Amino acid sequence: MRIHKTRIPGAHLIEREPFTDERGSFARMFCKRELEEAGLCADIAQVNLSTNYKKGALRGLHTQKGDYAEDKIVTCFKGSIYDVCVDLRNGSPTYLEWVGETLSVENGLALYIPKGCAHGYLSLTDDTMVLYFVTQFYASGAEAGYRFDDPAFGVAWPLPGPYIMSDKDSSWAYVSQRLNEHD
């Protein structure tokens, strides 16, 4: 694995290094030791799988607060997604800024999203499968979300809407309405 910093402190792009021969390929996608050596949390509490049937499915922007704040490692195992990390940490030099990366089965990339950042993604192809490694158990009472189209972030999603979204994701408040709730 190769771990690359992004412009958001604590957010990293993880690149698999496949070994390939006539049978196919083999690559390490998670290594506790390598993550810890890079200063990242590798204490995984859950592994979650998300499937998206159609191109244009948008999930997010999500985070968990307080004792349930989590780091995430997100990778795409089928199809392609545009994955976004938004910095919501008060005092961070990149507060309210975002980074986005295309994650696909072909490029083998993963995005490490640190505590205090919101996460979301847009499916760029039909039939995507997204795997999340998270460092905290899900707690519905600690869940928070932010509008995908919030002008405070200005995320440049690569496909035009309208998007396929849950009612909950399409009704999150704008950041100006939620900042006082975020730890």
Q: Is 4 a catalytic residue?
A: no
- Residue 101 pLDDT: 98
- Residue 180 pLDDT: 52
Q: What residue ranges define each of the domains in the chain, with the CATH number in brackets?
A: 2-181 (2.60.120.10)
pLDDT bucket at 80, cuts 50 / 70 / 90: very high
Active-site hit among 68, 121, 132, 163: 132
Q: Which residue has the tokens 């050596």?
A: 37
133-158 pLDDT per residue, tens: 999 999 999 999 999 999 999 999 99
Active-site hit among 62, 112, 119, 163: 62
CA distance 56 to 157: 10
3-state secondary structure of 176: helix
Q: What is the DSSP string of 74-140?
A: EEEEESEEEEEEEE--TT-TTTT-EEEEEEETTT-EEEEE-TTEEEEEEESSSSEEEEEEESS---G
Q: Is 119 a catalytic residue?
A: no
Mean pLDDT across 39-43: 91
- Residue 178 pLDDT: 57
CA distance 115 to 135: 9
Tokens of 160: 């035009």
